[in-house]
Amino acid sequence: MAAGDIETFQRDGIWFNRIEGESRTLGASFLNEAEAVKVGRGAAVARQVVHTVRTEEGPSPDSGAYAVHPRDLIG
């Protein structure tokens, strides 16, 4: 991930979003992955950066679905 990209991640069963290179989280926490991914994806599209999803155990098997750069979706 590059600085400025958005990462959705889980810690102790709670989901968060953060901007790569910053220590604090972006916005609220979430009780489920789907809501966190929705908000993280929206933030990535707005910033035109990459969005990734990571679980406590490592990258999510679904992260490939979010690896498409948002600039490639605007057309």
> What are the tokens at 9?
């991640």
Domain extent for 39? 1-50
Q: Is residue 66 part of a domain?
A: no
In-domain check, residue 34: yes
Lowest-confidence segment of 8-12, 13-17, 46-50, 71-75 by average pLDDT: 71-75
- 67 falls within a domain: no
Q: Which of 15, 1, 11 is nearest to 51 (CA)?
A: 1
Q: What is the CB-side half-sphere exposure of residue 69 using CA atoms within 13 A?
A: 8
57 pLDDT higher than 60: no
Question: What's the pLDDT tens digit per position in 11-35?
Answer: 989 999 999 988 899 999 999 999 9
pTM of the model: 0.72
Q: What are residue 7's phi and psi, to 5 degrees?
A: -120, 130
Is residue 60 domain-resident? no
Q: How many residues does the chain have?
A: 75
Q: For a pLDDT cut of 90, what percent of the chain falls above it? A: 53
What SS3 state is found at 1? coil
